[in-house]
Chain A
Amino acid sequence: ETGVTQTPRHLVMGMTNKKSLKCEQHLGHNAMYWYKQSAKKPLELMFVYNFKEQTENNSVPSRFSPECPNSSHLFLHLHTLQPEDSALYLCASSQDLGGARASNTIYFGEGSWLTVV
Protein backbone atom coordinates (compact mmCIF):
# COMPACT_ATOMS: atom_id res chain seq x y z
CA GLU A 1 0.00 0.00 0.00
CA THR A 2 1.44 3.31 -1.06
CA GLY A 3 1.62 6.32 1.27
CA VAL A 4 0.44 8.50 -1.61
CA THR A 5 -2.92 7.62 -3.13
CA GLN A 6 -4.20 8.95 -6.43
CA THR A 7 -7.69 8.73 -7.93
CA PRO A 8 -8.85 7.98 -10.49
CA ARG A 9 -6.19 5.66 -11.89
CA HIS A 10 -7.56 6.08 -15.40
CA LEU A 11 -9.56 8.93 -16.89
CA VAL A 12 -10.82 9.54 -20.40
CA MET A 13 -12.25 12.97 -21.06
CA GLY A 14 -13.39 15.06 -23.97
CA MET A 15 -11.83 18.39 -24.75
CA THR A 16 -14.85 20.27 -23.40
CA ASN A 17 -15.13 18.33 -20.16
CA LYS A 18 -14.19 19.39 -16.65
CA LYS A 19 -12.67 16.78 -14.39
CA SER A 20 -10.40 16.60 -11.37
CA LEU A 21 -7.56 14.39 -10.21
CA LYS A 22 -7.23 13.76 -6.50
CA CYS A 23 -4.19 12.98 -4.39
CA GLU A 24 -3.92 12.14 -0.70
CA GLN A 25 -0.77 11.48 1.26
CA HIS A 26 -0.69 9.58 4.54
CA LEU A 27 2.96 10.30 5.38
CA GLY A 28 2.64 13.51 7.35
CA HIS A 29 4.64 15.38 4.72
CA ASN A 30 4.57 19.13 4.26
CA ALA A 31 5.30 19.40 0.53
CA MET A 32 3.22 18.04 -2.34
CA TYR A 33 3.82 18.01 -6.07
CA TRP A 34 2.20 17.38 -9.44
CA TYR A 35 4.38 15.94 -12.20
CA LYS A 36 3.50 15.13 -15.79
CA GLN A 37 5.05 12.15 -17.54
CA SER A 38 4.51 11.66 -21.25
CA ALA A 39 5.98 9.06 -23.54
CA LYS A 40 8.83 11.04 -24.99
CA LYS A 41 9.76 13.44 -22.22
CA PRO A 42 11.32 13.18 -18.75
CA LEU A 43 9.24 13.84 -15.69
CA GLU A 44 8.05 17.44 -15.84
CA LEU A 45 7.38 19.33 -12.62
CA MET A 46 4.08 21.19 -12.79
CA PHE A 47 3.22 22.54 -9.35
CA VAL A 48 4.69 22.53 -5.86
CA TYR A 49 2.90 23.22 -2.58
CA ASN A 50 4.55 23.65 0.80
CA PHE A 51 2.31 23.83 3.88
CA LYS A 52 -0.59 24.14 1.39
CA GLU A 53 0.88 27.29 -0.17
CA GLN A 54 1.91 27.16 -3.83
CA THR A 55 5.64 27.70 -4.23
CA GLU A 56 6.11 26.73 -7.87
CA ASN A 57 4.12 26.97 -11.06
CA ASN A 58 6.36 25.71 -13.81
CA SER A 59 4.75 27.69 -16.65
CA VAL A 60 1.78 25.36 -16.73
CA PRO A 61 -1.16 26.37 -18.97
CA SER A 62 -4.18 27.73 -17.14
CA ARG A 63 -6.32 24.81 -18.26
CA PHE A 64 -4.61 22.99 -15.36
CA SER A 65 -5.66 24.41 -12.00
CA PRO A 66 -4.23 23.01 -8.75
CA GLU A 67 -5.84 23.17 -5.35
CA CYS A 68 -4.34 22.28 -2.00
CA PRO A 69 -6.90 22.56 0.82
CA ASN A 70 -4.51 21.12 3.42
CA SER A 71 -1.08 19.47 3.62
CA SER A 72 -2.54 16.02 3.01
CA HIS A 73 -4.68 16.66 -0.07
CA LEU A 74 -3.91 17.95 -3.53
CA PHE A 75 -6.18 18.30 -6.53
CA LEU A 76 -5.59 19.01 -10.17
CA HIS A 77 -8.63 20.50 -11.87
CA LEU A 78 -8.76 19.96 -15.62
CA HIS A 79 -10.81 21.91 -18.16
CA THR A 80 -10.77 22.33 -21.93
CA LEU A 81 -7.75 20.09 -22.28
CA GLN A 82 -6.12 19.17 -25.56
CA PRO A 83 -5.10 15.75 -26.89
CA GLU A 84 -1.42 16.53 -26.25
CA ASP A 85 -2.25 16.75 -22.55
CA SER A 86 -2.75 12.98 -22.52
CA ALA A 87 -0.13 11.63 -20.12
CA LEU A 88 0.49 10.02 -16.76
CA TYR A 89 -0.02 12.58 -13.99
CA LEU A 90 1.93 11.80 -10.87
CA CYS A 91 1.37 13.22 -7.43
CA ALA A 92 4.21 13.14 -4.93
CA SER A 93 5.10 14.34 -1.46
CA SER A 94 8.19 14.96 0.61
CA GLN A 95 8.79 15.84 4.24
CA ASP A 96 9.96 19.31 3.28
CA LEU A 97 10.83 21.17 0.11
CA GLY A 98 13.72 19.67 -1.81
CA GLY A 99 16.78 21.23 -0.28
CA ALA A 100 15.74 21.31 3.34
CA ARG A 101 17.84 18.23 4.13
CA ALA A 102 20.39 16.29 2.03
CA SER A 103 18.51 13.08 2.71
CA ASN A 104 15.12 14.52 1.75
CA THR A 105 13.34 12.20 -0.64
CA ILE A 106 10.16 12.29 -2.67
CA TYR A 107 7.45 9.63 -2.66
CA PHE A 108 5.13 9.12 -5.59
CA GLY A 109 1.62 7.87 -6.02
CA GLU A 110 0.78 5.31 -8.68
CA GLY A 111 -0.36 7.99 -11.09
CA SER A 112 -3.49 8.89 -13.00
CA TRP A 113 -3.52 7.96 -16.67
CA LEU A 114 -5.30 10.72 -18.57
CA THR A 115 -6.50 10.39 -22.13
CA VAL A 116 -8.02 13.43 -23.83
CA VAL A 117 -10.16 12.63 -26.85
Chain B
Amino acid sequence: TQLLEQSPQFLSIQEGENLTVYCNSSSVFSSLQWYRQEPGEGPVLLVTVVTGGEVKKLKRLTFQFGDARKDSSLHITAAQPGDTGLYLCAVIDNYGQNFVFGPGTRLSVLP
Protein backbone atom coordinates (compact mmCIF):
# COMPACT_ATOMS: atom_id res chain seq x y z
CA THR B 1 0.00 0.00 0.00
CA GLN B 2 1.15 3.49 -0.81
CA LEU B 3 1.71 6.03 1.92
CA LEU B 4 -0.01 8.73 -0.15
CA GLU B 5 -3.02 8.52 -2.41
CA GLN B 6 -3.93 11.19 -4.90
CA SER B 7 -7.22 11.74 -6.68
CA PRO B 8 -8.29 11.97 -9.32
CA GLN B 9 -5.57 10.15 -11.24
CA PHE B 10 -6.40 12.02 -14.46
CA LEU B 11 -8.34 15.22 -15.05
CA SER B 12 -9.10 16.93 -18.34
CA ILE B 13 -10.95 20.25 -18.24
CA GLN B 14 -11.62 23.31 -20.36
CA GLU B 15 -9.80 26.57 -19.87
CA GLY B 16 -11.58 28.74 -17.31
CA GLU B 17 -12.97 25.91 -15.20
CA ASN B 18 -12.19 25.39 -11.52
CA LEU B 19 -10.82 22.15 -10.11
CA THR B 20 -9.69 20.51 -6.90
CA VAL B 21 -7.25 17.64 -6.49
CA TYR B 22 -6.60 15.73 -3.32
CA CYS B 23 -3.77 14.06 -1.44
CA ASN B 24 -4.75 11.63 1.31
CA SER B 25 -3.13 9.35 3.84
CA SER B 26 -3.96 7.51 7.04
CA SER B 27 -0.74 8.84 8.61
CA VAL B 28 -0.03 12.18 10.25
CA PHE B 29 2.73 14.35 8.82
CA SER B 30 4.68 17.32 10.09
CA SER B 31 4.59 18.93 6.66
CA LEU B 32 3.48 18.34 3.10
CA GLN B 33 4.69 19.67 -0.21
CA TRP B 34 3.01 20.10 -3.59
CA TYR B 35 4.97 19.93 -6.83
CA ARG B 36 4.11 20.42 -10.47
CA GLN B 37 5.93 18.50 -13.16
CA GLU B 38 5.62 19.60 -16.77
CA PRO B 39 6.20 17.10 -19.56
CA GLY B 40 9.90 16.35 -20.01
CA GLU B 41 10.96 18.25 -16.90
CA GLY B 42 11.63 17.56 -13.25
CA PRO B 43 9.09 18.38 -10.52
CA VAL B 44 9.10 21.97 -9.29
CA LEU B 45 8.09 22.88 -5.75
CA LEU B 46 4.87 24.90 -5.49
CA VAL B 47 4.32 25.14 -1.75
CA THR B 48 5.09 23.64 1.65
CA VAL B 49 2.39 23.50 4.33
CA VAL B 50 3.34 22.76 7.92
CA THR B 51 0.39 23.69 10.18
CA GLY B 52 -2.91 21.80 10.43
CA GLY B 53 -5.65 23.81 8.74
CA GLU B 54 -3.15 26.06 7.00
CA VAL B 55 -4.23 27.69 3.74
CA LYS B 56 -1.69 29.10 1.31
CA LYS B 57 -2.40 30.89 -1.94
CA LEU B 58 -0.17 31.11 -4.97
CA LYS B 59 -1.95 33.28 -7.56
CA ARG B 60 -4.85 31.11 -8.76
CA LEU B 61 -3.76 28.09 -6.70
CA THR B 62 -5.05 27.54 -3.17
CA PHE B 63 -3.48 24.86 -0.98
CA GLN B 64 -4.97 23.57 2.25
CA PHE B 65 -3.48 21.24 4.83
CA GLY B 66 -6.07 19.19 6.70
CA ASP B 67 -6.72 19.95 10.35
CA ALA B 68 -5.40 16.52 11.33
CA ARG B 69 -2.39 16.88 9.00
CA LYS B 70 -3.31 13.69 7.13
CA ASP B 71 -4.51 15.20 3.88
CA SER B 72 -4.29 18.20 1.62
CA SER B 73 -6.10 19.75 -1.29
CA LEU B 74 -5.10 21.93 -4.19
CA HIS B 75 -7.73 24.14 -5.79
CA ILE B 76 -7.13 25.91 -9.08
CA THR B 77 -9.39 28.77 -10.08
CA ALA B 78 -9.97 29.60 -13.75
CA ALA B 79 -7.53 26.99 -15.03
CA GLN B 80 -5.27 27.89 -17.94
CA PRO B 81 -3.42 25.66 -20.43
CA GLY B 82 -0.19 26.58 -18.63
CA ASP B 83 -1.49 24.71 -15.58
CA THR B 84 -1.22 21.43 -17.49
CA GLY B 85 1.09 18.96 -15.80
CA LEU B 86 1.50 16.28 -13.18
CA TYR B 87 0.69 17.46 -9.66
CA LEU B 88 2.53 15.56 -6.95
CA CYS B 89 2.21 15.72 -3.20
CA ALA B 90 5.12 14.67 -1.01
CA VAL B 91 5.82 14.07 2.66
CA ILE B 92 8.64 12.86 4.86
CA ASP B 93 8.33 9.11 5.46
CA ASN B 94 7.40 7.63 8.82
CA TYR B 95 11.05 7.07 9.68
CA GLY B 96 11.72 10.77 9.27
CA GLN B 97 14.37 10.22 6.64
CA ASN B 98 13.20 10.32 3.07
CA PHE B 99 10.75 12.20 0.89
CA VAL B 100 7.88 10.06 -0.36
CA PHE B 101 5.74 11.07 -3.32
CA GLY B 102 2.17 10.31 -4.23
CA PRO B 103 1.33 8.85 -7.64
CA GLY B 104 0.18 12.24 -8.88
CA THR B 105 -2.78 13.80 -10.64
CA ARG B 106 -2.25 14.38 -14.34
CA LEU B 107 -4.07 17.56 -15.32
CA SER B 108 -4.80 18.63 -18.87
CA VAL B 109 -6.33 22.06 -19.46
CA LEU B 110 -7.68 22.43 -22.97
CA PRO B 111 -7.83 25.84 -24.67
Number of A residues with CB within 8 Å of any CB on chain B: 27
Q: Are A111 and B31 interface neighbours, CB within 8 A?
A: no
Interface majority SS (helix, strand, loop, mixed), chain B? loop
Scoring B residues 1 to 16 as 1 if CB is less than 8 Å from chain A, else 0, what string do you get?
A: 0100000000000000
Q: Are B96 and A43 interface neighbours, CB within 8 A?
A: no
The 5 closest A-B CB pairs, nearest first, are: A99-B96, A108-B42, A98-B92, A43-B101, A42-B103
Name 23 interchain pairs, CB-CB below 8 A, sorted by A: A33-B99, A42-B104, A45-B99, A48-B97, A90-B42, A94-B99, A97-B97, A97-B98, A98-B92, A98-B96, A98-B98, A99-B92, A99-B93, A99-B96, A103-B31, A103-B48, A104-B92, A105-B33, A106-B45, A106-B99, A107-B45, A110-B42, A111-B42
> B interface vs A, CB < 8 Å?
2, 30-31, 33, 35, 40-45, 48, 50, 88, 90, 92-93, 95-104
